[in-house]
């Protein structure tokens, strides 16, 4: 294929109405049809991996929870899972159930904020408002359990914080709110699927085939909406006691990505009901552990947007060495760029929003050395170049 | 109350700028505007994304070095009278990103307190602050806009 020269470029960002987070998109267009797309994500670089180098592992929870404000519990839990699997720390069964509960509550809140963002970008503000109103149920539950709407800080090494233990009153409240939510949510989803304007805007737009999803390493709901059956939750021993289905759709367009998340919320509700029903008695935290030297250990987790990896080693004093985080969005970026190509420019931002980007946690640094580009982790850069510039 | 103040009072436009941080405060601000439970529009405060028509600038996040210049530029584009609300612990003192570092030392990526870069009128603490507090912070700066000539 000969190399085409594309003349028109439309660039959006870093601060723009369609983008809540700062990132920059460059669309190369030919008469309003997107020919190529490039997403640039390095606006929110905070150097998290550098901050964690040399911190005591108990203290690191404060920073790992603040990697992302939407999926805070996922990062906190996964950083704890690394040290638990590396040092063979037992977790009580009751603590595991409550961790799963708060995780699924946050997953529903995250999917609802996705609806809010996607419908706001489409321009249908009523659906966005209704989605934010439904979300308040779960923000309240997080405040009741953990004490904060956004950062519940439930997992600690060896269990959960005793403050987050579930009382009988709290169990009843959760069940009531969830039942009430499900009734309203069913109406909401029926209303979306019956809306001809919204559906015609979404159907058949932003197509990502199964081959492309595998080739560009799409993860999470983005790949499951393209027909790839991949969910890390099915492999995790924490989720063994629970019965749920992995929702896989085969259409691969914007509508499929929205419907996939809509159906996944019902599975989350199923898990929450099972937690409340089968919650075992017993202690919630195991304090019989000592931190000692740990080799490089890795933990994988199904975050709300896909597969998440945390890995680090501990030295002889229990300080963190070489913390590495790989969040789902960087692997989804290539799939987003691919899905935009061939569609109208007005649909491109909707396509990117439908892949649910969360760009604060995925920022990486690129080092260009004599023309060769190389992506390095923070620690490697500090070792080689010092702090900055 | 002059004619200008009456006109201003009925349409206060707030603009949100997100300068790094973790998204938590950012979503709480959007929540305070869009969620029908909080509904900042009942105080006639509307969310806008255009600095030319904004009156209140809501800043969230610890200012990363890529966002210093955009922040200054957007502040200069807002017409007088204007007010700035710093929302969240990151915007006020840098939170864990600035104050809790390992053995690497000072974090040079964060230019955290927003008042180092632009003047701030109201500060809303919390990690993340509740939407009620954000409403309070925005409503507190409205008199400043009213009294301006």
Contact A50 B26 (CB under 8 A): no
Q: Angle CA(A334)–CA(A361)–CA(A111) in degrees, nearest 5? A: 80
Contact B95 A388 (CB under 8 A): no
Number of alpha carbons in the 13 Å side-chain half-sphere of residue A348: 25
Kindly state the tokens that stand for B127. Answer: 């990690």
Strands (E), chain A: 8-12, 24-30, 33-40, 155-156, 159-160, 294-303, 306-314, 320-326, 365-369, 372-376
Tell me how far apart the alpha carbons of residues B80 and A6 are, in angstroms, rounded to a whole number: 42
Predicted pLDDT of residue A83: 92
Give residue for tokens 């790839």. A228
Average pLDDT over residues B104-115: 82
Tell me how far apart the alpha carbons of residues A355 and A365 are, in angstroms, rounded to a whole number: 23
Predicted pLDDT of residue A269: 94
Contact A62 B96 (CB under 8 A): yes
pLDDT tens sequence across B81-105:
899 999 999 899 888 888 887 777 7
Q: Is A96 exposed, middle or buried (0-12, 13-18, 19+ CB in 10 A)?
A: buried
For B129-136, which contacts have Cβ atoms below 8 Å and span 24 or more sequence positions? Answer: B129/B25, B129/B28, B129/B87, B129/B88, B130/A149, B130/B28, B131/B28, B131/B29, B131/B31, B131/B32, B131/B35, B131/B38, B132/B38, B134/B28, B134/B29, B134/B32, B134/B40, B134/B58, B134/B85, B134/B87, B135/B32, B135/B38, B135/B40, B135/B43
Bridge pairing between strands A159-160 and A8-12: unpaired
Tell me how far apart the alpha carbons of residues A203 and A255 are, in angstroms, rounded to a whole number: 5
Contact A66 B22 (CB under 8 A): yes
Of B17, B35, B64, nearest to A45 by CB-CB distance is B64
**pLDDT band for position B19 (cuts 50, 70, 90):** confident
**Full strand arrangement of the beta sheet holding A306-314:** A294-303, A306-314, A320-326
Per CATH, the homologous superfamily of domain A8-385 is Cytochrome-c3 Hydrogenase, chain B (1.10.645.10)
The Cα of B138 is separated from the nearest Cα of chain A by a number of Å equal to 19
Predicted pLDDT of residue A1: 45
Kindly state the tokens that stand for A320. Answer: 């963190």
Contact A22 B101 (CB under 8 A): no
As for how many domains chain B has, the answer is: 1
Bridge pairing between strands B122-124 and B83-87: parallel
Is the CB of residue A68 less than 8 Å from the CB of residue A358?
Answer: yes
Residues 145-174 of A with CB under 8 A from B: 148-151
Tell me how far apart the alpha carbons of residues A261 and A257 are, in angstroms, rounded to a whole number: 7
Kindly state the tokens that stand for B20. Answer: 């790094």
Q: What residues contact A62, with CB distance under 8 A and at least 6 apart?
A: B96, B100
Contact B23 A46 (CB under 8 A): no
Is the CB of residue B33 less than 8 Å from the CB of residue B135?
Answer: no
Tell me how far apart the alpha carbons of residues A49 and B78 are, in angstroms, rounded to a whole number: 36
Q: Which domain holds residue B127?
A: 3-147
The Cα of A56 is separated from the nearest Cα of chain B by a number of Å equal to 8
What sign does the CA torsion over A300, A158, A70, A177 have? positive
Is the CB of residue B56 less than 8 Å from the CB of residue A152?
Answer: no
| C-alpha to C-alpha distances, B113 to A51, A52, A66, B74, B120, nearest whole angstrom | 18, 21, 18, 17, 10
Q: What residues contact A244, with CB distance under 8 A and at least 6 apart?
A: A233, A267, A270, A271
Task: List beta partners, residue A326.
Answer: A309
How far is C-alpha B35 from the geometric centre of its chain's CA atoms? 18
Q: How many CB pairs under 8 A join A and B?
A: 148
Is the CB of residue B131 less than 8 Å from the CB of residue B24?
Answer: no
- In this structure, the number of other CB atoms found within 10 A of the CB of residue B44 comes to 13
User: DSSP string spanning B81-106?
Assistant: S-EEEEESHHHHH-HHHHH---TT-S
pLDDT tens sequence across B48-91:
888 898 999 999 988 888 788 888 989 999 998 899 999 999 89
The Cα of A62 is separated from the nearest Cα of chain B by a number of Å equal to 8
**pLDDT band for position B40 (cuts 50, 70, 90):** confident
Kindly state the tokens that stand for A248. Answer: 């896989």
What is the CATH classification number for the domain harbouring B52?
Answer: 3.40.50.12280
Predicted pLDDT of residue A389: 42
Residue-range domain boundaries for chain A: 8-385
Show residues of chain B in contact with A120, CB under 8 Å. 34
**More confident site: A244 or B21:** A244
Q: Angle CA(A86)–CA(A90)–CA(A91) in degrees, nearest 5? A: 110
Show residues of chain A in contact with B100, CB under 8 Å. 51, 55, 59, 62-63
| C-alpha to C-alpha distances, B1 to A239, B7, B8, B42, B139, nearest whole angstrom | 63, 10, 11, 21, 18
Q: Angle CA(B127)–CA(B129)–CA(B132) in degrees, nearest 5? A: 170
pLDDT tens series, chain A, 389 aa: 455 666 688 888 777 766 667 778 888 888 888 888 888 777 777 778 888 888 888 888 888 888 888 888 999 999 999 999 999 999 999 999 999 999 999 999 999 999 988 898 888 889 999 999 999 999 999 999 988 888 888 999 999 999 889 999 999 999 999 999 999 999 999 999 999 988 998 888 888 899 988 998 888 898 999 999 988 999 999 999 999 999 999 988 999 999 999 999 999 999 999 999 999 999 999 999 998 999 999 999 999 888 888 999 999 988 998 888 888 888 888 888 888 888 888 888 888 888 888 777 766 666 666 667 666 666 666 666 665 54
Predicted pLDDT of residue A357: 81
Predicted pLDDT of residue A337: 87
Predicted pLDDT of residue A268: 92
The Cα of A129 is separated from the nearest Cα of chain B by a number of Å equal to 6
Phi and psi of A176, rounded to 5°?
Answer: -60, -50
């Amino acid at each position: 294929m000969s190399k085409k020269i594309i003349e028109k470029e439309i660039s959006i960002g870093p601060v723009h109405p369609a983008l809540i987070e700062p990132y920059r998109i460059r669309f190369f267009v030919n008469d309003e049809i997107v020919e190529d797309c490039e997403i640039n994500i390095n606006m929110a670089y905070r150097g998290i991996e550098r901050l964690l180098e040399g911190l005591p592992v108990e203290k690191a929870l404060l920073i790992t929870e603040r990697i992302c404000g939407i999926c805070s519990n996922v990062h906190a839990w996964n950083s704890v899972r690394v040290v638990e699997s590396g040092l063979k720390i037992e977790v009580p069964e009751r603590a595991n159930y409550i961790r799963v509960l708060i995780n699924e509550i946050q997953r529903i809140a995250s999917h609802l904020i996705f609806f809010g963002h996607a419908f706001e970008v489409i321009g249908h503000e009523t659906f966005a408002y209704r989605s934010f109103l439904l979300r308040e149920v779960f923000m309240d539950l997080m405040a009741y359990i953990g004490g904060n709407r956004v950062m519940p800080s439930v997992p600690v090494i060896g269990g959960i914080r005793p403050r987050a233990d579930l009382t009988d009153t709290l169990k009843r409240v959760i069940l009531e709110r969830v039942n009430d939510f499900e009734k309203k949510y069913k109406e909401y989803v029926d209303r979306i699927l019956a809306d001809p304007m919204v559906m015609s805007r979404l159907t058949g737009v932003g197509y990502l085939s199964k081959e492309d999803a595998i080739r560009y390493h799409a993860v999470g709901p983005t790949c499951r909406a393209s027909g790839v059956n991949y969910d890390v939750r099915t492999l995790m021993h924490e989720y063994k006691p629970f019965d749920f289905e992995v929702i896989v759709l085969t259409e691969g367009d914007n509508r499929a990505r929205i419907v996939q998340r809509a159906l996944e919320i019902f599975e989350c509700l199923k898990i929450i009901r099972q937690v409340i029903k089968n919650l075992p008695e017993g202690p919630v935290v195991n304090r019989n552990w000592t931190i000692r030297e740990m080799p490089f250990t890795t933990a994988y987790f199904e975050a709300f947007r896909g597969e998440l990896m945390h890995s680090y080693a501990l030295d002889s004093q229990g300080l963190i060495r070489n913390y590495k985080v790989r969040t789902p969005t960087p692997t989804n970026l290539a799939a987003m760029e691919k899905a935009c190509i061939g569609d109208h420019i007005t649909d491109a931002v909707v396509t990117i929003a439908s892949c649910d980007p969360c760009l604060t946690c995925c920022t990486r640094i690129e080092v260009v050395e004599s023309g060769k580009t190389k992506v390095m982790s923070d620690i490697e850069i500090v070792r080689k170049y010092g702090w900055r510039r | 109350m002059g004619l200008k103040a009456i006109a201003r009072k009925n349409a206060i436009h707030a603009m949100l700028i997100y300068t790094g941080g973790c998204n938590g405060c950012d979503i709480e601000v959007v929540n305070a505007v869009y969620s029908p439970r909080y509904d900042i529009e009942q105080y006639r405060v509307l969310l806008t994304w255009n600095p030319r028509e904004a009156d209140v600038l809501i800043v969230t996040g610890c200012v990363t070095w890529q966002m210093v210049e955009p922040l200054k530029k957007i502040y200069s584009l807002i017409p007088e009278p204007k007010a700035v609300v710093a929302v969240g612990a990151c915007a006020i003192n840098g939170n864990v990103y600035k104050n809790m570092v390992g053995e690497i030392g000072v974090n040079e990526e964060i230019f955290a307190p927003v008042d180092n870069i632009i003047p701030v009128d109201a500060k809303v603490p919390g990690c993340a602050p509740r939407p009620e507090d954000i409403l309070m912070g925005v409503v507190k700066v409205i008199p400043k806009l009213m009294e301006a000539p």
